Structures are given as structure tokens and as C-alpha cells.
Amino acid sequence: MKRILFPLAAVVLCTGHLWARQTGGSWTQGATTQSTATSPLWKERERDLALVQHIQRHLKDPADGLALAADRRDLRRVVSGAARAASRAAVPGTQVTEDDLLAQLGIIAELWNLRVNDRTAFAMMPRERLELVDRVQATLTKLAGQVKGVDRDRVVPSLQHELDVLRLYGQGRGEIPERGIEMALVIADAASTGRPATSSMGYPAPVPPGSGPTAPPAGYPTPPPPATPPAPPGAYPPPPPAPPSGPRPPSQLPPGYAAYAGTFTLTCLTERNRAGDAGDSAMMLRVADCWAREHSWPGWGGQTIEAIDWAIELAYLDRDCAEIDSALNRLRTLGPGAGFLPAEGAKLPELARAGEEHKAWLRSHGGCKQ
């Protein structure tokens, strides 16, 4: 699992004579200044990073689709304005503030939202939008040189990494092929109806590379070919229509997923959506408690761990060490004896280490909320 944290030593993104200081809300030539106040946009960019990294992990292994569906919903709310900020900053003589630079970095979430929610394949995205990645690269280099601070030092390398990832996808060399992305999104579509699919073994296993549907299930309309550029073979569909009332026939499910769970309820999903809306760690822990009681759903263990993972992430974004402790205590309360599957239980130590690293970093830099 990718984390948004990287070693401090990785933050060496620019050298030379480009140092700046904040003067009257604008950036000018001068000496490096330690920022004393964190812009709210820094937290937004960190939340963006957590979302897109969770989404990429779920695209590789969609499981029952519930976690991917929830993260897609959270990402849909992101309105970055990156293209407008980049155009404004390109005007000669324009004073560019720190927030202007941070707004441009919203292109990371903007492009992933275009891919997973608007269902636009990277190969079919407007060229001018993908070209913003290179322009924003210069922005990140400038920002890394201008401002130093404990809130910045751990996130800048992840921003750099995600720009590199987007550049590869734009060149058709992304880690996950478009076909695999679309297959995962089809599974998440089913999950977003509240009736996720399961395999005959109960909890679904990752679909092997190269398997799965070559086209979306029945009921998905074929998109009309655009005038320019021409649609490539296997062009991907728009978001599916609203689900029909009543149960859907098994023929509409991706291969390998036998039936919907008959006893699944929407309670935990509803709580997850509320916690995502609020960005609240304590609420996300209540989601974990909900799933820990929902043993009627075969994937309850994975959803419990996912909720605790988000609780740790959100507590870190709030710089709330006490809430990180609460999430770590919840991990210890559950423990290996909670009935997790072996693959799920193996994630517990990794999650505990990540939480301890978050907490240790904040405490060593005096960053814990009082």
C-alpha cells in the first residue's frame, strides 16, 4: 500500500538560485522563509494524494468494489480549478501566491477524477489537460524551493511521484492497463448500487491479469464515437445508467462473481459516506466498528481494515496524535483473533507501523494538535 509519507531525505527537488519569500501575498526573489501558517490548500492536496493512492490500490485489486466505490464518491467532490490557476499564473507580470501554486497541483486529483468518474480513458483525454502535468511540474519545483516547513517536507515527494505516474499514463505506459482500470470500475459500479458482487468462495479474490470481461456487462450503452479524435478499438463506456429496480440478473455481473449478497445492508456504507463527507477520523472508526459487526458480509474484514486505514490518514491530516492513538488502539482491540482472513490479518502490522510513523513524525516536529 502506498503511503503519502516518504523519507525527508527524498525532498531534494530543485537546486540553484530560485529562492523566494512571501511579501504582501506574492512571491519575489529573496531568501528562503520558514512558513509559520499552513494554508488550508495544503491539507486539500494531502487529502487528494491519499484519495488517488487509495484508488490506484483498489484499481489493482478491486475485491468486492465497495472501497473503490466509496473513494470514487469522495473524489467526485474535488473541484481543483487547476487549469484556471495555471492559465492565470502564465500571464506575464502576474503575482503568484502560495495558494495559486497549490491550486495548480490539484491537476493530480482532477485527472484521476476525469478517469474514474467521468470514464475518460487517458488516451482520450484532451491533450491540453494532460500537458498541464508538465507545467505543474515546474510549479512543484518552485514551491519546494520557496517554502520549507514540517507540513511540506513529507508531502512534496508524493506529489512528485504522482505527477510522474500521470505522465506515464498519458504516454500509454501506466502501471494498470486501461482494460484493467475499466474492469475494476465496472465492479465498483455494481458495489455503488448497494448490492456488491461476491464470488462462489465468498470474499472475492483479485482477478488475474488478462482475465475478466473484454467489454462492460449488458445494460451499459455504447458511447457514440467522437468527431475528434476517432474512438480506438474497445472505447470505454460512460458511467452506467441508474440501476433498475429489483434484483439484477447474474448475466450482468463480471465473470467470476456469482451472486449478490442476500443479507447485506446499507448501514455501514451510509456511515462510510458520511465519514468521507466530513473527513472525520472518529467517524471513520465508527465505520470500522460497524463493519466489524457485519459478519453477514464476507468482505467485512477488508472493509474494517480499510476504515481504520482511513481513520489513521484523516487523523494525520488533522495533525491529531490523540486520534492516531485511538485508531491504533482499535487495531490492538481487534487483533489477529477477530476472525480476519490470513491476507487481511497480514495487513494489520503494516497499518500499525504506518500509524506509529505518522505519530512519531508529528511529535518530533512539534506538529501534534494541542
The span from the CA of 102 to the CA of 39, in Å, is 9
Q: Is residue 187 part of a domain?
A: no
Are 109 and 80 in contact by the 8 Å Cβ rule? The answer is yes
Looking at residue 208, the DSSP 8-state letter turns out to be P
Last residue of a domain, one of 170, 187, 206: 170
The structural domain count of the chain equals 2
Q: Is residue 197 part of a domain?
A: no
Last residue of a domain, one of 154, 170, 186: 170
The span from the CA of 299 to the CA of 291, in Å, is 9
- Return the top range by mean pLDDT from 72-76, 81-85, 245-249: 72-76
DSSP string, 32-71: -EE-SS--HHHHHHHHHHHHHHHHHHHHH--TTSHHHHHH
Q: Is residue 81 part of a domain?
A: yes
The span from the CA of 257 to the CA of 249, in Å, is 12
What mean pLDDT is predicted for residues 287-316?
91
The span from the CA of 58 to the CA of 51, in Å, is 11
Model confidence at 248: pLDDT above 80: no
- The pTM (predicted TM-score) of the whole model is 0.73
- What is the H or E stretch that residue 160 is in? helix 156-170
Torsion, Cα of 7, 9, 12, 17 (10° steps): 140
Q: Is residue 253 part of a domain?
A: no
- Domain with 100, as residue range(s), is 38-170
pLDDT digits 0-9 by tens, 12-69: 333 332 223 233 333 332 223 333 346 788 888 899 999 999 999 999 988 888 899 9
Q: Is residue 129 part of a domain?
A: yes
Q: Is residue 237 part of a domain?
A: no
Q: Is residue 7 part of a domain?
A: no
Last residue of a domain, one of 122, 150, 170: 170
